[in-house]
Amino acid sequence: MELFDYSFFASAIRMVSPILLAALGGALCARVGIFNVGLEGLILAGAFSAIVGNYYSGNVIVAVLTGAFGAVLVSLLFGLATIKFKANPIVAGIAINFLVLGLTTFGLRAIFQVKGAFYDKDMNGLPKWDLPFIENIPMIGRFLSGHSPLVYTAFIAAILLYIFLFKTVLGFRILAVGKNEAAARSLGLKVTTLQYGAIIASGVLCGLAGAQLSLGQVTMFTEGMTAGRGFIALVAMMLGQSHPIGMIGSSLLFGLMDAMSIRLQGFSMPTQFTAMLPYVITIIAMFFLKDRGVDSQASGQQSSR
Amino acid sequence: MNLQRKIQQLLKPLSQPLLAVLIGLFTGALAIALIGESVIDTYKVMWDGAFGNFYFLTATLARATPIILVGLGLAIAFRAGVFNMGAEGQMVLGAVCAALASLYVPGSGFVKLLSAFLAGFLAGGLWSLLAGWMEVKYKVQLLISTLLLNYVAVLFAGYLVAEPFQDKSGSAALAQTPMIDQAVWLPKLFTGMSVHMGFVIAVIGAVVLYVALQFTSSGYEVRMLGKNPFFAEYGGINKSKVLLFSMFFSGGISGLAGTVEVLGSQYRYVEGALTVPGYAWTGLMAALLANSNPLGTAAAAILLAALQTGAMGMERNTEVPLEIASVIQGVLILFVTAKFTLNWWKVKKKASDINGAV
């Protein structure tokens, strides 16, 4: 068995997409000064509502849309708590994670009358798209092509977000809010509207991440199926300094590590250490990155600084 | 007059958590009604599952034990104004080190017991100190580093019990250590009931911590740092020292949570036995719910444990799923935070008054 082959890179790219989508959502929130710890809950809400939409409509597009919608509803609750009621975003985010975990499992019992996992063979998963031209490129074509549309969406969204944040007026306004809320407000920017906008957008992105999880590989929902991906996305966001291109890099790192730890199980090597690697790398990286820009004030932590 | 003011002072911090609990229970009622069950009956079954008879009551207290200790540990950190999110890793490392100490330290049962407690406390404390040190020395954000260190600690503990220290005696190769010597077991408080000596330790810990925070000068320094770091520094408090000190104790007490769970109920370190029930996160919620008051944290921990054992009883006897407990908890914390920040905002405002601008 070889360590690196086509299926290794293909699975790495597949694993990247939910992390990248959620990290982009988290970054948008961070850029308007809200540290969103509730990504995990938002993804889970997206995954569950996507399955609900799929079950009742039988249409994949409707399913993805309901996934996004479900996550947006939860993100609005988060926004209401943090913006309107001035709740501590970290605490509210943790609450959201617990709330969604409970609600989805509860919904599984209430809607589908099952426990643990829901699977129906009549449900359609996301299609696999082969990219014209690219699939014919020797070597890389085979693992770049043949993924679900949401995988491509993740990378396109990152590039679009980069253009939006750094090349448009609205993007600059968002950056201004994150840099200094009071100053942005004094300039007459609609800070609250921008914050709600960012939170809704992050709901959409996390909803897509969830849809990729529940509809991408196997079409099913299991309790707590995010399995910490929201927190990994948070870490990818920190490592990528909330910069879209940086986050593509950090998410790719996590995807590769993820694929690697699965692959190394075949080599009778303790998987715990390979699974540990991304976190250790991130901790080491944080020594060098420290606080540049948003994250220091965005977390709202009353730190020793 | 004086008495009235005192009562008011006592009740005021209680009003917001109680309101949050009511909103949580109301949301739970909505969910129960939604799936067509009787709200009153379901809550009655839930109450019985948590406090209905002596057995259930002791089961609730046994579940509350690690939650109280984790909550107390986090309360120290929160009081010092640092967001320690690493209770899970600190607890797990404490548990695995305590199990290994009681297995491999030579000597009598008492020596083993003592070294297990010491190992549990030190493992949790030093792991937490690492995050504190990175924050003080290199300004690596503590909130993130503690979160990351959780994964590292849990995976490392998983490796220890899956490879070098795995229990090879049984037929099935489970990820767990061998069983510890019976002489090291913490005694049960009542025969046949699951609540053990650890609960007494946790309650004593809550009282000691309350007194220490309220009436000693180190406690004053910790609280001062959390309330107003600028004033604390102005008043000659060594910020870094107090932060490291509170992180060490915060992690150490979380480590003790793992220790008493190993010595009092599992009698070995089993992978996932501490992480799957979410003791660390529930402890975090207890500390938040009580606004980091040690006595309140203990009470909130028992309340949250009762919610969980009650939900288990409810699932056995009704059609309502267990997860309603998570829904109630989630809503509860969501609403308690509003107050949390209200206080926080006041603190910030005071700080800005002193410094001119923030």
DSSP state string for A144-190: HSSB-HHHHHHHHHHHHHHHHHHHSHHHHHHHHHHH-HHHHHHTT--
Residues of A in contact with B138 (CB under 8 A): 287, 290
Q: Given pLDDT bands bounded at 50, 70 and 90, which one contains residue B123?
A: very high
Could you give the angle at which helices B109-138 and B239-261 cross, rounded to 10 degrees? 140
CB pairs under 8 A between A and B: 171
Residue range A36-82, pLDDT digits in tens: 888 999 999 999 999 898 888 878 888 889 999 999 999 999 998 88
Tell me, what's the pLDDT at B66?
94
Inform me whether the pLDDT recorded for B241 exceeds 50.
yes
* CA neighbor of B127 nearest in space, from B110, B104, B152: B152
Tell me, what's the pLDDT at A298?
38
- Other beta carbons less than 10 A from residue B195's beta carbon: 22
| Residue B228 covered by a domain | yes
Interface of A with B in 164-193 (CB under 8 A): none
Name the most confidently modeled range: A92-106, A223-237, B110-124, B233-247: B110-124
Token pair for A202: 């992050």
Interface of B with A in 249-278 (CB under 8 A): none
* CA neighbor of A178 nearest in space, from A37, A295, A38: A295
Inform me whether the pLDDT recorded for B319 exceeds 80.
no
Q: Assign residue A263 the CATH number of its domain.
A: 1.10.3470
Tell me, what's the pLDDT at B206?
92
Pairwise CB contact (< 8 Å): A235 & B344: no
Q: Average the pLDDT over B335-342 and give the result.
A: 59
B203 touches A: beta carbon within 8 Å: no
Q: Average the pLDDT over B95-104 and give the result.
A: 91
Inform me whether the pLDDT recorded for A29 exceeds 50.
yes
- B158 in Cβ contact with A272 (< 8 Å): yes
| Residue A129 covered by a domain | no
A276 touches B: beta carbon within 8 Å: yes
Q: Tell me which of A9-18, B209-218, B303-312 is least confident.
A: A9-18
Token pair for A10: 């293909």
CA-CA distance, A109 to A221, in Å (whole number)?
A: 12
Can you tell me the ipTM of this complex? 0.79
Q: Tell me which of A17-21, A237-241, B5-9 is least confident.
A: B5-9
CA-CA distance, B337 to B140, in Å (whole number)?
A: 25
Q: Tell me which of A71-75, A265-269, B181-185, B284-288 is least confident.
A: A265-269
| Residue B346 covered by a domain | no
Inform me whether the pLDDT recorded for A145 exceeds 60.
yes
B134 touches A: beta carbon within 8 Å: yes
Give the minimum alpha-carbon distance from B148 to chain A in angstroms, rounded to a whole number. 6
B29 touches A: beta carbon within 8 Å: no
Inform me whether the pLDDT recorded for B237 exceeds 90.
no
Q: Tell me which of A294-298, B173-177, B251-255, B259-263 is least confident.
A: A294-298
Q: Assign residue B126 the CATH number of its domain.
A: 1.10.3470
* CA neighbor of A64 nearest in space, from A21, A13, A111, A16: A21
CA-CA distance, A18 to A209, in Å (whole number)?
A: 4
Q: Which of B141, B284, B288 to mutate to test the interface with A (most CBs of A within 10 A)?
A: B141
Tell me, what's the pLDDT at B322?
81
Interface of A with B in 65-94 (CB under 8 A): 77, 81, 85-88, 90-92, 94
CA-CA distance, A86 to B121, in Å (whole number)?
A: 36
Name the most confidently modeled range: A90-99, B63-72, B331-340: B63-72
Q: Given pLDDT bands bounded at 50, 70 and 90, which one contains residue B338?
A: low
Percent of chain B having pLDDT more than 90?
Answer: 27
Percent of chain B having pLDDT more than 70?
Answer: 90
Q: Which of A254, A304, A305 to mutate to test the interface with B (most CBs of B within 10 A)?
A: A304
The total number of structural domains in chain A stands at 1
Inform me whether the pLDDT recorded for B226 exceeds 70.
yes
Tell me, what's the pLDDT at A200?
93
| Residue B304 covered by a domain | yes
Token pair for B291: 């606004």
Q: In which residue are the tokens 């995807």 written?
A: A255
Q: Which tops the pLDDT comparison, B76 or A274?
A: B76
Distance from the first to the final alpha carbon of chain B: 39
Beta bridge partners of B176: B270
Residues of B in contact with A235 (CB under 8 A): 144, 147-148
Residues of B in contact with A304 (CB under 8 A): 81-82, 135-136, 229, 239-240, 243
Give me the helices (H) in chain B, please. 2-34, 39-51, 54-79, 87-104, 109-138, 142-162, 197-215, 217-227, 229-234, 239-261, 279-289, 294-317, 324-355
Tell me, what's the pLDDT at B337?
66
CB within 8 Å of A95: residues ≥ 6 apart = A38, A81, B330, B331, B332, B333, B334, B337
Residue range A158-204, pLDDT digits in tens: 899 899 888 888 888 888 888 888 888 888 888 888 889 999 999 99
Residues of B in contact with A92 (CB under 8 A): 334, 337
State which H helix or E strand residue A71 sits in. Answer: helix A60-79
Name the most confidently modeled range: A282-286, B160-164, B202-206, B234-238: B202-206
The total number of structural domains in chain B stands at 1
Q: Tell me which of A221-230, A257-266, A272-281 is least confident.
A: A257-266
Give me the phi and psi of A119, to 5 degrees please.
Answer: -140, 135
| Residue B13 covered by a domain | no
| Residue B345 covered by a domain | no
B269: left (phi over 0), alpha (psi -120 to 50) or beta: beta
| Residue A128 covered by a domain | no
CA-CA distance, A243 to A246, in Å (whole number)?
A: 5
Q: Given pLDDT bands bounded at 50, 70 and 90, which one contains residue B172?
A: low
Inform me whether the pLDDT recorded for B90 exceeds 80.
yes
* CA neighbor of A226 nearest in space, from A66, A78, A42, A79: A42
| Residue A96 covered by a domain | yes
| Domain region containing A208 | 6-116+142-299
| Residue A226 covered by a domain | yes
Q: Which tops the pLDDT comparison, A13 or A104?
A: A104
Tell me, what's the pLDDT at A303?
34
B310 touches A: beta carbon within 8 Å: no
A270 touches B: beta carbon within 8 Å: yes
CA-CA distance, A157 to B33, in Å (whole number)?
A: 41
CA-CA distance, A45 to A51, in Å (whole number)?
A: 10
Q: Average the pLDDT over B42-63 and give the result.
A: 88
Q: Which of A86, A99, A290 sits opposite B330 (nearest CB)?
A: A99
Quote the mean pLDDT of chain B: 83
Residues of B in contact with A257 (CB under 8 A): none
A152 touches B: beta carbon within 8 Å: no
Give me the phi and psi of A118, to 5 degrees please.
Answer: -125, 130
Inform me whether the pLDDT recorded for B202 exceeds 50.
yes
**pTM for the complete prediction?**
0.83
Q: Average the pLDDT over B237-251 and give the result.
A: 88
B83: left (phi over 0), alpha (psi -120 to 50) or beta: beta
A155-158 long-range contacts, CB within 8 A, separation 24+: A155/A17, A155/A20, A155/A248, A157/A20, A157/A21, A157/A24, A157/A205, A157/A208, A158/A20, A158/A24, A158/A244, A158/A245, A158/A247, A158/A248
Give me the phi and psi of A147, to 5 degrees please.
Answer: -110, 175
Tell me, what's the pLDDT at B1?
55
| Domain region containing B104 | 19-25+39-336
Inform me whether the pLDDT recorded for B179 exceeds 90.
no
Q: In which residue are the tokens 């985010």 written?
A: A93
- B79 in Cβ contact with B223 (< 8 Å): yes
State the amino acid at position A240 in one-letter form. Answer: G
- B294 in Cβ contact with B213 (< 8 Å): yes
Closest residue on chain A to B337 (Cα): A87
- A88 in Cβ contact with A300 (< 8 Å): yes
Q: Average the pLDDT over A2-31 and give the result.
A: 82
Closest residue on chain A to B323 (Cα): A102
Q: Which tops the pLDDT comparison, B129 or B190?
A: B129
| Residue B31 covered by a domain | no
Name the most confidently modeled range: A141-150, B189-198, B204-213: B204-213
Q: Given pLDDT bands bounded at 50, 70 and 90, which one contains residue B242?
A: confident
